[in-house]
Chains A and B, each alone.
Chain A
Amino acid sequence: MKNKKIDNKKKKSHLPTRLNLLFFVVFLLFSGLVLRLGVVQIVQGKEFKRQVEMTDVESVNFSVPRGEMYDNDYTKIVYNVPQKAITYTPPKHPQPKDLLKVAKDLAPYIQMPEEDIKKVRERDLKDIWLLENDNGDELVTKEEKEKYKDKEIYQLKLDRVTEEHTKTIDKNVAAIYGKIYNATALTPTIIKNEGVTDMEYAMISENLGDLPGVDVTTDWQRAYTYDDTFKGILGSVKPGLPEEKVDYYKAKGYSLNDRVGYTYLESYLEDILQGTKTKVRTVTNKQGEVVEQEIVSEGKSGKDVVLTIDMEFQAKVEQIIKEEILNAIPYPNNNYLNKAFAVVLNPKTGEVLSMAGKQYDEKERTWSDFASGTFTAAFEPGSVVKGATVLMGYQDGAIYPGTVLRDEVMFLPGGNTIRSAGRSMGPINDIKALERSSNVYMAKIVYAMAGDTYVPRKSMNWNYLNLVEKMRSYYAQFGLGTTTGIGFDNEAIGVQNDPDNPGKLLYFSFGQFDTYTTLQLAQYVATIANDGYRMKPMLVKEIREPNPEDDELGPIIEEFSPTVLNRVDVKKDWLERVQRGFYQVVNGSQGTARNYFKNVPVTVAGKTGTAESYVWDEKLRKGVKTYNINFVGYAPYDDPEIAFAIVVPNVYNSGGPSLPYNISARIGERVVEAYYETKEEKQNQNNDANGEGQEETEDNENNDANGDTVTDNNEATRQEVEDGE
Chain B
Amino acid sequence: MEDEKKDVDRFDWTLAFILFLFLVVSLIAISSAQTHGQYAGNFVIQQVVWYGVGAFIIAVAMLFEPDQYKKLSWILYGFGIFILVFLHFAPESIAEPRNGAKSWFTIPKVGTIQPSEFMKIFLILALSRVISDHHQNYKLKTLKTEFWLLGKLILTTLPPLGMIMLQPDLGTGLVIIAIAAGMMLVSGITWKIIVPVFSVIMSVGAAIILIMIYFPEWVESFIPQYQLARIYSWLDPYSYSSHEGYQLVTSLQAIGSGEIFGKGYMDKEVYVSDRHTDFIFSVIGEEFGFIGASIVICIFFLLIYHLIKVALDANSPFDSYVCAGIIAMTTFHVFQNVGMTIQLLPITGIPLPFISYGGSSLMGNMLAMGIVFSIKFYHKKFMFSTNTED
Contacts and interface: CB of A to CB of B under 8 A. Distances in A.
Contacts of B61: none
A120 to B, nearest CB: 38
A26 B258 CA distance: 26
A30 B285 contact: no
B256 A48 contact: yes
Contact of B294 (A7, A32, A37): A37
Contact of A36 (B289, B317, B339): B339
Given A40-B252, A48-B252, A51-B257, A22 B301 contact: no
Contacts of B389: 5
Given A22-B182, A22-B328, A15 B294 contact: no
Interface stretch (B160-168, B303-311, B358-366): B303-311
Given A32-B344, A34-B294, A37-B342, A49 B305 contact: no
B290 A42 contact: yes
Interface string B235-258: 000000000000000001111111
Contact of B260 (A25, A44, A45): A45
Interface in A4-27: 5, 7-8, 10-11, 14-16, 18-23, 25-27
A34 B297 CA distance: 8
Contacts of A5: 389
Interface string B328-344: 10010011001100111
Interface of A: 5, 7-8, 10-11, 14-16, 18-23, 25-27, 29-30, 32-34, 36-38, 40-42, 44-49, 51-53, 286
A18 B293 contact: no
A23 B293 contact: no
Contacts of A286: 269
B269 A26 contact: no
Chain B, interface residues (CB within 8 Å), range: 35 or more
A5 B317 CA distance: 12
Contact of B255 (A18, A29, A40, A53): A40
B320 to A, nearest CB: 5
Q: Choose among B270, B315, B338 the residue with the greatest number of A CB atoms under 10 Å from its CB.
A: B338
Q: Which of A22, A25, A41, A52 has the most chain B CB within a 10 Å cutoff?
A: A41
Nearest to B270: A52
B186 A18 contact: yes
B188 A29 contact: no
Given A34-B294, A40-B256, A41-B259, A26 B304 contact: yes
B188 A27 contact: no
A524 to B, nearest CB: 58
Contacts of A20: 308
Given A19-B320, A52-B269, 19 more contacts: A8-B315, A11-B317, A14-B188, A19-B186, A19-B311, A19-B312, A19-B324, A23-B308, A30-B331, A30-B335, A36-B343, A37-B255, A40-B342, A41-B255, A41-B256, A42-B259, A48-B253, A51-B256, A52-B253
Contacts of A25: 185, 331
A26 to B, nearest CB: 5
Contacts of A22: 182, 185-186, 308, 324, 327-328
Given A33-B344, A286-B269, A19 B257 contact: no
B377 interface: no
B135 interface: yes
B301 A27 contact: yes
Contacts of B328: 22
Interface in B270-292: 270, 285, 289-290
Contacts of A18: 185-188, 324
B69 interface: no
A36 B260 CA distance: 13
A33 B290 CA distance: 11
B188 A45 contact: no
A21 B185 contact: yes
A46 B139 CA distance: 60
B99 interface: no
A156 B46 CA distance: 43
A42 B186 contact: no
B267 to A, nearest CB: 12
B259 A49 contact: yes
A56 to B, nearest CB: 12
Given A23-B308, A34-B297, A11 B269 contact: no
Contacts of A30: 297, 300-301, 304, 331, 334-335
B387 interface: no
A11 B149 CA distance: 15
A8 B311 CA distance: 14
Nearest to A49: B257
B139 A33 contact: no
Contacts of A33: 297, 334-335, 338-339, 342, 344
Contact of B139 (A10, A40, A48, A49): A10
A33 B253 CA distance: 17
A20 B186 CA distance: 9
13 contacts: A7-B136, A7-B139, A22-B308, A26-B304, A26-B331, A30-B301, A37-B285, A41-B260, A41-B285, A42-B290, A45-B257, A45-B290, A48-B252
Contacts of B188: 11, 14-15, 18
Contact of A41 (B187, B289, B324): B289
A48 B312 contact: no
Nearest to B249: A51
Contacts of B338: 33, 37
Nearest to B338: A33
A51 B249 CA distance: 10
B342 to A, nearest CB: 5
B245 to A, nearest CB: 15
A79 B352 CA distance: 68
A37 B182 contact: no
A51 B308 contact: no
B349 to A, nearest CB: 19
B256 A44 contact: yes
Nearest to A15: B320
A11 B135 contact: yes
Contacts of B135: 7, 10-11
A14 B187 CA distance: 8
Nearest to B258: A41
Nearest to B255: A40
B301 A26 contact: yes
A49 B317 contact: no
B256 A47 contact: yes
Contacts of A42: 259-260, 290
Contacts of A15: 186, 188, 311-312, 317, 320
